[in-house]
Amino acid sequence: NLANNEQLDSFRTPSWFKNYLTKASEAAAAATAVTESELSNTKYTFPVITELWKTNSRVNELLGCSSSTHYLRADEVRQAVRSYVMRNNLNSEKQVKLDPVLVRLFKTKDESAMLIGWNELNNAVFDAMSPCSELSFVHFEQPIRINGHIQSIELECIDRNRKRQTFIRYLDTYQIDLNELCKRIRQGASVSAVISETDETRRTGRVIMAQGNQISFITRLLKDDYGVPSKYIKEI
């Protein structure tokens, strides 16, 4: 009789080990549930955006940079210009004397006793540089740099085939989850919202199309749920 076999009993799993396995399994299931809950409730954090200026050979000596490319904030550029002028005794009351380095910024001026204002000098320096934007996301180790001034999220309502639709562009720039945003639009406005890849996708990134005029609702959604500042939302 197998039920009364003493040798077989010695190979059966001890009760304490069964309890251990049960508790370990329950703990693993609970940890998985918490992780999935945390992921589903992860809140989008709007990036820190810094407007930068890219140096080049025309301004490197003036700004005290090496021959390689540097990225500076606007206040750092102005401070570097002021330091150069003061260090080389080029300040003349409220104007600046031109030297060979400064003359390179102007195509129509020469060094002969020329004086220019501070605003004109600073504008010439910025005109000689290239703007770019740096986006720092909490989930990325390194910031993302974009050439040129960053585009705001565009909202546009268009009538097509007697149907009004709202288009949302430049969301990919800000690493916004388009599927999640479509879901929130459908739930909050009770309208259809889909992701579209059109001819303009290469320029604007993927586009969301929502049924009807949803500009007010989407603007409020972007501000309240995604923390997008008003300056980065543009209605066209």
Output the domain CATH number for residue 166.
Answer: 3.30.780.10
Tens of pLDDT, residues 206-216: 999 999 999 99
Of 129-133, 157-161, 175-179, which gets the smallest average pLDDT? 157-161
User: Would you place residue 78 in the very low, low, confident or very high pLDDT band (cuts 50, 70, 90)?
Assistant: very high
Residue closest to 69 by CA, chosen among 83, 80, 59: 59
Count up the domains in the chain and report the number.
2
Residue scoring higher pLDDT (144 or 108): 144
Per-residue confidence (pLDDT) for residue 12, from 0 to 100: 58
Tens of pLDDT, residues 43-69: 899 999 999 999 999 999 999 988 788
Q: Which of 63, 96, 131 is the last residue of a domain?
A: 131
pTM value is 0.73
DSSP codes of every residue in 25-87: HHHHHHHHHHHHHHHHTPPP-PPEEEEEEE--TTTHHHHT--SS--EEEHHHHHHHHHHHHHH
In a domain, 10, yes or no: no
pLDDT at 144 over 80: yes
Cβ proximity of 131 and 148 under 8 Å:
yes
How confident is the prediction for the chain on average, in pLDDT? 85
pLDDT at 235 over 70: yes
In a domain, 18, yes or no: no
In a domain, 170, yes or no: yes
Mark whether 121 and 159 lie in a shared domain.
no
User: Would you place residue 111 in the very low, low, confident or very high pLDDT band (cuts 50, 70, 90)?
Assistant: low
Domain containing residue 111:
49-131
Please give the share of the chain, as a percent, with pLDDT higher than 70: 80
In a domain, 34, yes or no: no
Half-sphere exposure of 43 (CA within 13 A, CB side): 8
